[in-house]
Amino acid sequence: MPTPSLKKRCSIALALASIACSLPALASSHREAPFITRQPKVDATDFYMFRSTEAGRTDYVTLIANYMPLQDPYGGPNYFAMDPDALYEIHVDNNGDGKEDITFQFRFNYQNKDAQLNVGGKAVSIPLVINGSGDINSPNSSAANVRETYTVDIVRGDRRGGNRQAVTSGGNASFDKPLDNIGNKSISDYDSYANRHVYTANIPGCGAPGRVFVGQRKDPFVVNLGETFDLINIAAPATAFDPNAERLEKDSLAGKNVTSIALEVPIACLTNGAEPVIGAWTTASLRQARLLNPTPANLSASKEGGAWTQVSRLGMPLVNEVVIGLKDKDRFNHSKPSNDGQFADYVTNPTLPALVETLFAGAGVKAPTNFPRTDLVAAFLTGVKTLNQPANVVPSEMLRLNTAVAPSSSPNRLGVLGGDNAGFPNGRRIGDDVVDIALRVVMGRLCTVNGVNTLVGCTPDKAPSGAIDFTDGAYLDHGSNFVNAAFPYLKTPLAGSPSN
């Protein structure tokens, strides 16, 4: 995060009611803590949870956990396989106590098929993940030199000691993950190829089947990273925000992919039957011990052992990036929501608004003064009353969704702030512009909205800049440029070699 001693400041001409003020763009969870930068395969970038919008699927919830940030499409020759020594999980709390009641566990396997060519009478192993024998168009294609598969278990109760059962499809408990989008010569129709990896998921105890997909996707997050971390080296707009111009200029992730774990589950399978609000978050864990092999052969570079240790955690966007202090970022990634009392000061007495006030003091921007920040407690730790707060709730950080709120036929990128109660912070959809929303909430927007301010315990006089439409200048919405109409909803990953 930037400090008050800046070499450059944004010069802004600001009409409080209508002109946008440029502020730090914030990656949702890309490289957000010191330790996770050393473990990119288990770095969660974004987490989404929303009522499915595809026709005939609105009685389902879609959960998407994205991992491995900042993937260059041309990042070969080994590309971006998931970690076979890691445990990836999506947790659901359906009674408000801050503890998982349902967990979906994903484990991966990476197989080298060891394709060989006869060169001068000798069989020699090839160096690539494809063997050149033809177009790759189906799972486990003979033209692929590697095969990546995964299993999914559902655990009810404690994630380690609860009742564990396998999720299957057509009687099989193993699912294929598609190769990354190498290029159009290797995979001529990547959409069709990837769609063959969308599986019907028979989830024990859930009745109606769901769906599952794991694979590379275009990173759906929109953010201006470079200038932000260069001490907010951004010239603020002096006129009203132009989404078309700003989108082209500011999206640092326009050329990046991610790897997505996408799961669609019947609502009735996730709720407890009495409480419509569910909370969820994603984690990744590694074994406590790693022994490096001094003479590795065929994917045996290390041996992992010991108990699982959680190293990544993501629920609400932006929390570890801009709310949790630097000294506690690794601790947060290792913690559970039920233990979030140790981080309460970061929410009730946040530093980001104070930094914003310093950076934009010349424009008269003021941080909210309602301490403790009950409005942020509602947004991040409990949910908002009458919207997505469970009847009995233990304050804990996670994404919360009221499953009784129907999907919107005309979603607004600002979610609840834009009058669309089916959007963030009631869950999170792919097209919700969480940076703009979070900036406005952090600066006190909830205190200025009649009716809402009563629910979150603050008044407009405590948020003198709460009515300003703060923005990072990077535009995101629910249009077809950002969101597909069908599961898994995320756009096709960018090709490493776009030429035909």
Query: Using one digit for the tens of pLDDT, what is the confidence trace for 49-66?
Result: 999 999 999 999 999 999
More confident residue, 357 or 415: 415
The least confident of 73-77, 399-403, 424-428 is 73-77
Distance CA 217, CA 222 (A): 14
The least confident of 94-108, 194-208, 285-299 is 285-299
Contact yes or no for 329/322 (Cβ under 8 A):
no
The least confident of 181-190, 219-228, 314-323, 379-388 is 219-228
Query: What is residue 261's predicted lDDT score, i.e. its pLDDT?
Result: 98
CA dihedral 232, 237, 241, 244 (to 10 degrees): -80
Residue 92 β-bridge partners:
102, 280
Q: Which of 66-75, 124-133, 258-267 has the highest mean pLDDT?
A: 258-267
pLDDT at 126 over 70: yes
Query: What is residue 33's predicted lDDT score, i.e. its pLDDT?
Result: 72
pLDDT at 4 over 70: no
Q: What is the mean pLDDT of residues 257-269?
A: 98
Q: What is the mean pLDDT of residues 18-43?
A: 64
Distance CA 220, CA 253 (A): 8
Query: What is residue 227's predicted lDDT score, i.e. its pLDDT?
Result: 60
CA 281 to chain centre: 9
Query: What is residue 104's predicted lDDT score, i.e. its pLDDT?
Result: 98
Q: Give rounded-to-5 percent helix, strand, coil for the chain.
A: 20, 25, 55
Query: What is residue 475's predicted lDDT score, i.e. its pLDDT?
Result: 82
The least confident of 60-64, 152-156, 239-243 is 239-243
230: confidence class by pLDDT, cuts 50, 70, 90: low
Contact yes or no for 233/24 (Cβ under 8 A):
no
Distance CA 394, CA 383 (A): 10
Mean pLDDT of the chain: 88
Query: What is residue 123's predicted lDDT score, i.e. its pLDDT?
Result: 97
Query: What is residue 323's predicted lDDT score, i.e. its pLDDT?
Result: 86
Residue 155 β-bridge partners:
103, 164
To the nearest whole percent, how much of the chain has pLDDT over 90? 74
Q: What is the mean pLDDT of residues 203-207?
A: 94
226: confidence class by pLDDT, cuts 50, 70, 90: low
pLDDT at 24 over 60: no
Query: What is residue 368's predicted lDDT score, i.e. its pLDDT?
Result: 97
Query: What is residue 30's predicted lDDT score, i.e. its pLDDT?
Result: 64
Distance CA 443, CA 417 (A): 13
Element (H, E) at 245: helix 243-250
Q: What is the mean pLDDT of residues 135-149?
A: 95
pTM over 0.85: yes
Q: What is the mean pLDDT of residues 380-393?
A: 96
Distance CA 365, CA 354 (A): 10
For residue 383, the one-letter residue type is G
Query: What is residue 228's predicted lDDT score, i.e. its pLDDT?
Result: 56
Contact yes or no for 458/368 (Cβ under 8 A):
yes
Contact yes or no for 375/438 (Cβ under 8 A):
no
Q: CA separation (Å) from 238 to 10, 187, 315, 359, 407?
A: 11, 46, 34, 17, 36
pLDDT at 348 over 50: yes
Query: What is residue 340's predicted lDDT score, i.e. its pLDDT?
Result: 94
More confident residue, 421 or 251: 421
